Structure 1
Amino acid sequence: MTMYLLIAGILATLPATGYSLTCIECSVAGDKICNGSSEVCSSGNTVCLLTRAVNNIGDMVTMNVYIRQCGPKELCSKTGSISLPNGRYLTSVTCCDTDNCTPPEPILPEVSKEKNGKKCPSCYLTNAKSCVKVTPTDCIGNETICITQITNLKGPVPSSTIARGCATKQLCDPVHQVWHMNKSVVDLENICDNGGNHLHKNILSLIFSVSVLLKLLC
């Protein structure tokens, strides 16, 4: 009996294995956080993410979405923006690490109108992977990096989009990001450079082109 108790005590001190986090996965357009089904997170996705992405054209908001899903811990607290021709993307990400938890409300970065002296080539094209023509864009606020974003949508209505412009440096990490939304998969690939000096190739965190998001949310 003493031996059995000893073995039981040793087993009780060993860490549990085989645990996988579960998170709510959903996406919705509007000002309210969505609620969806609980999904088991794959290896490497150790937190539940809540992303808010907004697109402004001039003074008009043309996109405002919330996305919930499993994700890597390095995406926690990612906040930033991209300036494109006649428009600007804003995004913010929060996270939590318990089953089906709801992360805090993401706070979007403040919109600055002050030019910082940097210029980046900019363009926006759908169903393309390169820009034939670019327009110099004045960078504003803390957007100190030039960015090239390629969005590939795989699903019932596949498409690709390229966007180039100014970005906050924080959006250049992590290296890779894939989003599973409804029946579609969104792959975001990004190249960041500092005015011609190549830095590294990454997946842009939680910034989505308007056309891709509208197709996903239809």
Structure 2
Amino acid sequence: MKPLGLLLVLFSLTSTGFSISCKSCWHMQGFPCHGLSFPCSSDQVCVASYNLVTTVTSESPKYTLSCGSRSQCNLNGSLTFNHGKVRTGTSCCDIDNCTPPSPTLPPVSSQKNGLTCPACFSETSDYCYTSDKVECTGDEIKCGLMARRLSGTVTKNDSLRGCATRSYCEIFGNQTTTIQELNVDSKMFCSDGAVDLHVGLLGSIFAILLTKLLF
């Protein structure tokens, strides 16, 4: 093969990306977990996620492993609501059926940062609102509402509202994953706390519509 032809073939391979297979599983007692292997989409990697929900009376760990985007790799963050805190850490690897390193959770901070957010939790709805408030600490510099819809082996909606890190607003709270026939669709809506969250969302929608009408 001529050098030019070889170069074109290599360019074609690199531009279209490549795909690997990852195990898909979850475990409620920590890590690791074991599951069947599934092919990932192009350029995805194997992503391990460790979540720890802490309340006054309990701790609930959950470890998941599945295909995911590189933007989810090696991050951590937290979301604090009126009954507890959710901390998340991720890690990745990019070889067929590999096991990523153990994810690292963010430290718990008691240093208040001056932000106060509405806080609530619902096990039955993807929206919640109460008059409860929570004082934010550390890197939790956003007020956030996370809405989840689960379908497949389990069907339910739930929601959390409170103080959130940027990683929850931008990555952890906005994901769609499928793990062992369970589909989890999460959406995160965040504000800087200057106005109530739903007012801020309506304002953003109005601004987008006005821009389209004008231009």
1:14 aligns with: 9
2:113 to 111, 116, 120: 116
AA aligned opposite 2:39: V
The answer to whether the 8 A contact 1:24-1:37 is kept is yes
| Partner Cα distance (1:132, 1:18) in 2 | 43
Matched, 1:104 2:125: no
The amino acid that maps onto 2:190 is: C
| Cα pair distance change 1:37/1:128, threshold 3 Å | same
On the 8 A contact 1:147/1:190 being kept in 2, the answer is: yes
Greater share of residues in strand = 1
SS of aligned partner of 1:110:
coil
The residue number in structure 2 matching 1:177 is 175
Change (3 A) 1:132 1:29: closer
Equivalent position to 1:187, from 173, 185, 188: 185
1:1-218 → structure 2 map (5 Å cutoff): 6=1, 10-11=5-6, 14-15=9-10, 16=13, 19-43=18-42, 46-58=44-56, 60-61=58-59, 63-174=60-171, 176-196=174-194, 198=200
Higher helix share: 2
Aligned residues of 2:126 and 2:149 also touching (Cα < 8 A) = no
Contact 1:47/1:71, CA 8 A, preserved across alignment? yes
Could you tell me which amino acid in structure 2 is paired with residue 71 of structure 1?
G
Deviations 1:90-125 (A, max 9, x none): 000111112112111111011112222210001001
- One-letter code of the match for 2:167? Q
Percent identical among aligned pairs is 32
Structure 2 vs 1, CA of residues 132 and 169 (structure 1 numbering), >3 Å: closer, same or farther? closer
Q: With the length of structure 2 as denominator, give the TM-score of the two structures.
A: 0.81
Per the normalisation by structure 1, the TM-score is: 0.80
Equivalence for 1:204: none
Q: 1:140 to 1:132 in 2, by over 3 A?
A: closer
